[in-house]
Amino acid sequence: MNIKQAIVNRRSIKHFDSTHEMTESEINELMEHAILSPTSYNVQHWRFIQIQDKDKRQQIEDVSWGQKQVTEASLLLILCADLNAWEKNPERYWRDAPVEVQDFLLPMIENFYTNHHQAQRDECLRSTGIAAMNIMLMATGMGYDSCPMVGFDFDKVAKIINLPHDHIITMMITVGKSREDARPRSGQLPLSEVFITDSF
Domain ranges of the chain: 3-182
What are the phi and psi torsion angles at 57 (to 5°)?
A: -60, -45
Which overall architecture, per CATH, does domain 3-182 show? Answer: 3-Layer(aba) Sandwich (3.40)
The secondary element (H helix, E strand) that includes residue 50 is strand 46-50
Q: Which residues pair with 84 in a beta bridge?
A: none
d(CA 124, CA 44): 9
Write the pLDDT tens digit of every residue in 26-39.
999 999 999 999 99
Write the pLDDT tens digit of every residue in 78-137.
999 999 999 999 999 999 999 999 999 999 999 999 999 999 999 999 999 999 999 999
* 131 alpha-carbon distance from chain centroid: 5
Supply the pTM of this predicted model. 0.95
d(CA 4, CA 7): 5
d(CA 80, CA 25): 22
